[in-house]
Amino acid sequence: MATMSHEITSLSATELARRIRSRALSSREVVQAHLDRISEWNPRLNAIVDLDAEGALEQAARADEAQANGRPLGRLHGVPLTIKASIDVRGLRSECGSRFRQGYVAERDATLVARLRSAGAVFLGTTNTPDMLMAYETDNYLYGRSNNPWDLTRTPGGSSGGEAASIAAGCSPAGFGSDGGGSVRVPAHFCGICGLKPTPGVIPRTGHWPSCVGPSAYLGLIGPMARAAEDLQLLMEATAGPERHDPSAAPVDVSAPGLEALKAGRIGWAVSDGRTPVTDETAAAVETAAKALERRGFRIEPFSLEGLEDAIRVWWTLFGVAGATLTQPLIAGRESDVHPLSLGLFAAKEEAEAMTYPKFLDAWVERDRLRSKLLARMEGLTAFLCPTASLPAFGHGEREWRIGAQTVRYPHVFRYAQLFNLTGNPVVSVPAGRSPEGCRSAYKWSPSRSRTPPQSHFRSSFRRNAACRKAFRAFENVFPTMFVGLGYDKTN
């Protein structure tokens, strides 16, 4: 029985949907297997903070009854998911790890959750985040620290750290996080799963806290996370599309192009931006990914990230300084209620107070100039790949690292992620190796225009979200064992 349960929790969401639809498995069997997995692993991971076991089984029973009665089935019929605790799921806590939202229970579903529910998904619970989502590791005063399933002494990242840890450990096949500076991609990188940052607004952000308005409308988004690349496509198709309450909704095509069409283009790659060093295993992961794609028939060429040095300064103005300004009325007089990890990603009070309208306007204009500069450089490229971060998952509380001859400090090791929140490119983070300590390394892929999908990062332009996912699937076919059957027994 335990073997059967483990087999079920090793399957992708796409495969689970197929087996439920064919009646090889019932939704109740699938949900119970994941609840058993949660009972085994969540006490060590502290990934899921509001588990609705009874409600999930009730949802599964209704799903099985609907199928037995011959009712139409959605593409996620009976499949369990988890959701980051910054996204409203009716009846569940969505506190963002913050004392300022302690006790908040969502009265209605976020738009994307409602779409998932209409597609037949079953919701297991909500997952842990850093306080107010403002850290690259997950810890807060409400629920405490989340741990990486590959090594409990290391962080799963943040701010979608609980979501990434839950999925990597098999407690959930897939789910959703949010990302304003790498918060989907960095946890995916640290935990060895797939994390997609789509073009902002492709997936409605209504029902997320904080609201994605002002600068966050361009920096922040909601994206799917999963162990298997095929699930990113499934989850995007189930949730993408304009919504009248999201002021920056983007009507972007998320259908996948043909593989041959992708091979007709060129893919750039870079192991470094020439300024921010990366560990040897991180560079090797990117190179491995590039060579794997070349073997699959893609045209690969070097790509330079140099000349974009001002991007991180501009991102910090729009994220850290603007964020501190907008949050100050909420936390004024209660600064001690904010977890120290999160205070580090808010600009200091003096820096926020020194921000003027001309300085802010200059940053906004410079953002568009940098985006144009990157797009011009990507002309003719289908996508390019580069590191997700300078290093794999780090130990809890670490704040500086020796990489080659340089000392790199937190949060500068995440510049590779922050850059693309500023430019708006869709990006997917993809497992591509393992560090000497046993943690996963990733690369990122970004398409040249916005359609979506990597630890390497795959990056694309604003209308190629689907191109990104499709090319990523080609890479997944080269290394299938990196995406299924993760070695859960590696954690003691």
Q: How far apart are CA 490 and CA 492, in angstroms?
A: 6
What secondary structure, in 3-state letters, does the chain show?
CHHHHHHHHCCCHHHHHHHHHCCCCCHHHHHHHHHHHHHHHHHHHCCEEEECHHHHHHHHHHHHHHHHCCCCCCCCCCCEEEEECCECCCCCECCCCCHHHCCCECCCCCHHHHHHHHCCCEEEEEECCCHHHCCCCCCCCCCCCCCECCECCECCCCCCHHHHHHHHCCCCCEEEEEECCCCCHHHHHHHCCEEEECCCCCCCCCCECCCCCCCHHHHCEEEEEECCHHHHHHHHHHHCCCCCCCCCCCCCCCCCCCHHHHHCCEEEECCCCCCCCCCHHHHHHHHHHHHHHHHCCCEEEECCCCCCCHHHHHHHHHHHHHHHHHHHHHHCCCHHHCCHHHHCCCCCHHHHHCCCHHHHHHHHHHHHHHHHHHHHHCCCEEEEEEECCCCCCCECCCCEEEECCEEEECCHHHHHHHHHHHHCCCEEEEEEEECCCCCEEEEEEEEECCECCCEEEEEEECCEHHHHHHHHHHHHHHCHHHCCCCCHHHCC
Q: How far apart are CA 181 and CA 416, in angstroms?
A: 9
Question: Can you tell me which residue has the tokens 């189930």?
Answer: 238
Asked if 409 and 402 touch (Cβ cutoff 8 Å), the reply is no
Residues marked as catalytic = 84, 159, 183
Query: Please, which residues have CB within 8 angstroms of residue 73's CB and are 6 or more apart in sequence?
Result: 21, 66, 67, 120
